[in-house]
């Protein structure tokens, strides 16, 4: 008997661009679509098909009213009564739009992407909690990063709302975490069980290849074919530990080695970027910063220059640097495995608990570079047979643990729990 498709409603602050939440939500929607489930989208900023979407301005964390509430709620221990009124007023408005969304598209299951996890938009979390409490709506809450994992949320005047909604504890909500530490802390802090679903890639499909469009990538960013391209495929924020990548290039003492940073500074200012540029100049490291050359699609930037996909950068990379101090999971590392590239990893906690035990062959450091680490990187660069064996084994392991097949099995459980039928 053919599976019965359901109307699925994805809810979040933003489904646009290449942030981790948007990318993972798109993967979930693809797997659901493969099994006849139709996805619809609700958020404050969307680049999804308008015919199957509802965009509500106040649902976006960048909305002026939401940013004003955040400034009043974090870094302070008390809040004005007016702030409480504004939170509840916007939440009530958003709650009514959630009723409109579910009715308009005949939604049968909600999948909430991080909006009940991290309080970037307190009114949206409160609205979702009230809506689910009033309706008993079948809901899957996909948690990417909890507020207690971020220092900037540690001092707050809105603890009552955080306890209420981030995440909410309601009988019709199934919780999903992306790593074992988040699973443990959710249980410890809230007494809530969850299903662990790691971030995944389509390891059953071959990665793209160098083609006519991306063949000139190196030349376009000022590199020669003989240069050794070390790619740092992340945003420029302090927790990425990019200073370690600069120190690595310096220690290799090879003028062919170039460090390429693909993404912008983000919303945390440019001080860290400037510090990295000064460090690279002082240590004689050629740092190539190209956020204006990497985009969501192949196009041209304002200067008329070609814009490439991040995939194009991976294809030309010789080595991936990933010296993060903290990660919720580690998408860039899994991408390195997918594109069959060797990688250096700083042993952040989730790597230690969830990824390393799988047996992946990567070069690791423990917060600082050693001669041994530098020697291993040199060997990977110089020994092609050793390098190919490493990346092949990592790809095959990733097919077992981080492929779409893993996501499909987990989603089957979640959907079946709500419908009583094996619909995936």
All residues at 6 or more sequence positions from 152 whose CB lies less than 8 Å from its CB, including other chains: 74, 75
Spatial strand order of the sheet with 139-143 comes to 53-55, 38-43, 7-11, 109-113, 139-143, 173-177, 195-196
CA distance 75 to 5: 46
Cα separations (Å) of 142 from 197, 315, 424? 9, 31, 18
- What does the pLDDT look like over 119-159, one tens digit per residue? 999 999 999 999 999 999 999 999 999 999 988 899 999 99
Tell me phi and psi for residue 236, to 5 degrees. -95, 85
- What does the pLDDT look like over 252-277, one tens digit per residue? 999 999 999 999 886 567 899 999 99
Give alpha helix (H) positions in 221-342.
242-252, 271-283, 310-316, 331-338
CA distance 372 to 363: 10
Retrieve residue 414's tokens. Answer: 């979640």
- What does the pLDDT look like over 165-205, one tens digit per residue? 999 999 999 999 999 999 999 999 999 999 999 999 999 88
pTM for the model stands at: 0.88
- Look over the chain and give the mean of its residue pLDDT values, rounded to a whole number: 94
pLDDT at 2: 43
Task: Please check whether residue 377 is in contact with residue 363, taking contact to mean a CB–CB distance below 8 angstroms.
Answer: yes
DSSP 366: S
- What does the pLDDT look like over 6-47, one tens digit per residue? 899 999 999 997 788 988 999 999 999 987 899 999 999 999
Q: What is the DSSP string of 36-94?
A: TPEEEEEESEE-S-GGGEEE-GGGSTTSHHHHHHHHHHBS-S---HHHHHHHHHHHHHH
Q: List the domains of the chain with CATH numbers.
A: 7-200+404-419 (3.40.50.2000), 214-401 (3.40.50.2000)
Lowest mean per-residue pLDDT among 4-8, 55-59, 356-360, 408-412: 4-8
Nearest to 376 by CA among 336, 314, 319: 319
**Dihedral angle, C-alpha 75, 78, 80, 84, nearest 10 °:** 90
Place of tokens 């080695």: 257
Nearest to 263 by CA among 274, 273, 271: 273
Q: Is the dihedral of CA 221, 222, 224, 230 positive or negative?
A: negative
């Amino acid at each position: 008997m053919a599976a019965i498709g359901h109307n699925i409603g994805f809810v979040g602050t933003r489904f646009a661009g290449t942030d981790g939440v948007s990318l993972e939500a798109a993967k979930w929607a693809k797997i659901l679509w493969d099994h006849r489930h139709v996805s619809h989208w609700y958020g404050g900023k969307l680049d999804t098909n308008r015919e199957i979407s509802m965009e509500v301005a106040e649902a976006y964390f960048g909305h002026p009213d939401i940013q004003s509430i955040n400034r009043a709620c974090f870094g302070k221990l008390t809040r004005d009564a007016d702030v409480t009124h504004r939170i509840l007023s916007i939440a009530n408005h958003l709650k009514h739009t959630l009723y409109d969304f579910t009715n308009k598209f005949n939604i049968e299951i909600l999948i909430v992407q991080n909006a009940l996890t991290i309080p970037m938009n307190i009114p949206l979390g409160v609205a979702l909690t009230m809506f689910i409490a009033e309706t008993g709506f079948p809901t899957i809450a996909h948690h990417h990063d909890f507020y207690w994992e971020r220092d900037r949320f540690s001092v707050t005047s809105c603890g009552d709302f955080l306890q209420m909604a981030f995440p909410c504890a309601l009988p019709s909500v199934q919780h999903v975490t992306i790593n074992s530490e988040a699973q443990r802390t959710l249980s410890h802090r809230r007494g809530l069980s969850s299903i662990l679903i790691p971030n995944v890639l389509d390891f059953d499909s071959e990665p793209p290849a160098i083609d006519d469009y991306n063949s000139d990538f190196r030349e376009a960013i000022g590199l020669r074919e003989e240069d050794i391209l070390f790619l740092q495929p992340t945003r420029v924020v302090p927790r990425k530990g990019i200073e370690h990548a600069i120190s690595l290039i310096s220690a290799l003492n090879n003028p062919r080695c170039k460090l390429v940073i693909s993404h912008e500074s983000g919303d945390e200012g440019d001080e860290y970027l400037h510090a990295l540029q000064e460090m690279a100049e002082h240590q004689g490291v050629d740092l190539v910063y190209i956020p204006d050359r990497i985009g969501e699609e192949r196009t041209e930037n304002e200067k008329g220059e070609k814009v490439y996909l991040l995939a194009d950068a991976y294809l030309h990379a010789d080595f991936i640097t990933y010296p993060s101090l903290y990660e919720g999971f580690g998408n860039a590392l899994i991408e390195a495995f997918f594109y069959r590239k060797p990688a250096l990893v700083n042993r952040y906690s989730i790597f230690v608990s969830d990824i390393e035990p799988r047996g992946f062959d990567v070069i690791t450091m423990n917060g600082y570079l050693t001669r041994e680490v530098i020697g291993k990187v040199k060997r990977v660069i110089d020994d092609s047979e050793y390098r190919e064996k490493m990346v092949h084994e990592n790809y095959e392991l990733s097919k077992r643990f981080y492929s779409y097949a893993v996501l499909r099995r987990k989603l089957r459980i979640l959907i079946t729990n709500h419908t009583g039928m094996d619909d995936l």
